[in-house]
Amino acid sequence: MNQVQPPHNTNIAGNAGEVSPVQFRPQDQAQDRFDFLTGQRDLKAFNKAHSHSSKVRFLRIALPIIAVLMIVGIVGSYYGKLSGAPTLTVQSTSFDDGNMVMKNPVLRGVDRENRPYELKAKEAIQDAKELTKIELHEIDAVIPMEGTSFANIKAGNGLYDSKGKTLLLGGEVDILSDNGIRIKLQDADIDIGAGNMFTNNPVFVSSLQAEIHAGSIAIEENGDSIIFTKGVKMTLYPKTIKSAQVNTSQPK
């Protein structure tokens, strides 16, 4: 399993602005000439309106994968209903007031591109009265992203409802990619059927090149629309962006 490395600290001051709301649409990516999260494009396009494609891609991919791992992985593979299901190991299984309790479940597998992923939880509990619901506690996952990137996803707890096709994440949600992009949420309410996700609590998105603070975020239509609201603040780090641009333009 590839290890996700934490981002490097930077003390480079940037330019901050505040707007509300802010909306990003991935279909506008064709017009982008500068990627403010990776700094690998033309610095002259620094102030372009649609300079947010990497963040959008990361948000769009990460949250649906969390849902898929929890739903298909722990629930599906435990009951053996899936062909070619990932491997699930459980330290112990017991019953408490009729609820099935799995201690330290660990799910391992590979995606369609043969890249490994892993999902761990301290505990998974299936509700005896509502069999469509399963709780997860102290979630820790490492999953493949675009290209060769991996992301580490941690959450204090999760509740999946197969009937309602919803997934609630809480207890602080922390997503960190090995290229230094970080997303921090207090919680997330995911409607898997509709492809929507929202939280009315603070969200923080950062990289070496930029960071965003907002009071809420809403992702709609499977990521076609991503809206930050409530006192949105963006900080950009031009010197870091320029440095990254120079490094990527040098011959290898």
SS3 label, residue 14: coil
- State what percent of residues in the chain have pLDDT above 70: 59
Contacts of 87 by beta carbon, 8 Å cutoff, 6+ apart: 77, 107, 108, 109
- pLDDT, mean of residues 175-190: 86
- Cα separation values, 154 from 5, 136, 175, 238, Å: 14, 11, 6, 30
Residue 38 lies in a domain: yes
Residue 242 lies in a domain: yes
Tokens standing for residue 225:
């629309």
Q: How many domains does the chain have?
A: 1
SS3 label, residue 3: coil
Residue 231 lies in a domain: yes
Residue 3 lies in a domain: no
Range of the domain at 153: 15-249
pTM: 0.63
Closest CA to 161 of 198, 194, 135: 135
89 by Cβ neighbours in 10 Å (0-12 / 13-18 / 19+) ranks as exposed
Tokens standing for residue 204:
């923080």
Is 149 within 8 Å of 178 (Cβ atoms)?
yes
SS3 label, residue 181: coil
Model pLDDT for residues 216-233, shown as the tens digit of each residue = 988 777 667 778 899 999
Model pLDDT for residues 129-161, shown as the tens digit of each residue = 888 888 989 989 887 776 777 888 899 999 888
The CATH number of whichever domain residue 75 belongs to comes to: 2.60.450.10
